[in-house]
Amino acid sequence: MSLDRRNLLKAAAGAGALNVLWPLSAGLSPAQAQEAAERLGASWDAAPFTLGVASGDPLPDSVVLWTRLAPEPLAVEQSLPDSVDVTWVVARDRELRQVVARGTVPATAALGHSVHVTVSGLDPDRRYWYAFRALGKRSRVGRTRTAPAGRIARVRFASANCQAFHDGYYPAYRGIAREDIAFVVHLGDYIYEHGQVGGQALRDHEGPEVFTLPEYRRRHALYKSDPALREAHAAHPWFLTWDDHEVVNDYSGTRGGSFVKRRSAAYQAWYEHMPHRDPSAGAHGTALPAEPRIHRVRHWGDLLELTVLDLRQFRSEQNLPDGTILGAEQRAWLGQGIDRAPDAWHCWVNSIMLSQLRGKPGGGYMFTDQWDGFLTERTDVLGQVQRSGLEDLIVITGDWHSAFVDDIRPDFNNPDAPVIGTEFTAHSITSGAYSADWNGANGPLMGRANPHLQYFEGNRYGYDVYEVTPERWTTHLRVVGDRRDPASPVTTLTRFHVDRGRAGAYEDEATKNSPAQYRRD
């Protein structure tokens, strides 16, 4: 195997030649940037649809289709007219012969020549295929699916998070693309705004971070250059939330000054590259609203209620007595959902860890950027869950670059408090975790310090697949053999089950001897 992406970048940084190898270095022409990206394993769909196609936010009668015209994907500006007509088609077959909907929309410079088409009038619980055409060329064919309505017996879906381009390839996404699943949930950190390789900044004349709309656009385009990521987008519809690195590390919504402009640019670029449904965005070619709404509730028939949370945009600073991670409006909205919850599995899409995490017995919280920094609100939310009688709560989480399974309790400091749900924190796609030595030493310490912690594994990378029936929830922890190898195989490390009507997870007997740095006896 040739030298992998991560080690190539580290070697270049050590030799002082990173400005030649890093595709987004200042001074590179679009052709030179593309050549540098290709040396790191990048490839592109045929122009102008270089970044592929995607679909998202499926409802029983509609879905959002996405693409972006980018003939020179890493250019600061595209050599395109201000507005380009893009035609789209949706069909019942892969060959696009049984057409059910078609139309034409403008791709405007104001939206980075991205296209978001809300296709309505579709049948529930049905697969469709779609494609775009512009400038005499056709995109690849994508596959999507509408949500079911009414009673269903089963759903399988996957989650992904934390995919630092400079930390490895995306064999996990090739696995996701080939899974028999209905949809994908992305839990945040789709891009990274900084440029770190082995602790060394990817410094060039623009600095190690991205700040402006053109810079964020180029960073998203670089990430889309991995063929496995484009394959996963084209294979399934996605639900999306974000975490911090879509903007900047550990930010809160209360920052002012120049940060507001930077955040607006980051949100704009995120929208331009995602199959996200925002009715107020893109009207007459305009930009995204200053405060885009990404929190929402979606239902997969009568089986699953999916509550997508936004834990960045409206949060206060951490460690305040009256701090909020949700913001007043989202907190009220979540509370109404708790009190009016239907009889179903309730899955909260949660970008950062909800459960308490102390580093060692008697020690402090490891990270107060997560819910541990918003104790009053967490106690309030989980107390409402307990008082409401809401059952069958599953929280799926990213951010940590390691796998955790936690009992959710309304009071994490009281081991006798009732279990009211389970949190599954998934491995990252590529983003670097702690070392194997650190995991081996600290896994048992975290276990002793957190009686609600069932399981910790931090030496691997991958994604989770969730299989849900009216009787049971099963989480399959999928892992790749080596993130340095784009063809690395995917295997199942272990499985956990939660029985309907009975809070708390348990590990499958067939996989409970798999490697881990901590298991609760």
The total of structural domains in the chain comes to 2
230 assigned to some structural domain: no
141 & 159 share domain: no
121, 145, 169 — which closes off a domain? 145
97 assigned to some structural domain: yes
133 & 164 share domain: no
- Side chain identity, residue 162: C
6 assigned to some structural domain: no
283 assigned to some structural domain: no
430 & 357 share domain: yes
- Side chain identity, residue 147: A
463 assigned to some structural domain: yes
| Share of residues in the chain with pLDDT > 70 (%) | 95
Does residue 33 register a pLDDT over 50?
yes
159 & 131 share domain: no
pLDDT in tens, 94-151: 999 999 999 999 999 999 999 999 999 999 999 999 999 999 999 999 999 999 999 9
Does residue 458 register a pLDDT over 90?
yes
Q: Residue 471 is part of a domain; what is its CATH number? A: 3.60.21.70
Angstrom CA distances, 338 to 310, 334, 348, 419, 420, stand at 16, 6, 11, 16, 13
Q: Residue 66 is part of a domain; what is its CATH number? A: 2.60.40.380
69 & 116 share domain: yes
Question: Distance between CA atoms of 378 and 356, rounded to whole angstroms?
Answer: 10
Amino acid 283: pLDDT:
52
Amino acid 173: pLDDT:
98
Domain that holds residue 77: 53-145
113, 145, 177 — which closes off a domain? 145
Residues whose CB falls within 8 Å of the CB of residue 401, separated by 6 or more in sequence, listed in order? 162, 427, 428, 431, 432, 433, 434, 458
43 assigned to some structural domain: no
326 & 449 share domain: yes
117, 145, 173 — which closes off a domain? 145
75 & 172 share domain: no
Average pLDDT on 392-416 reads 97
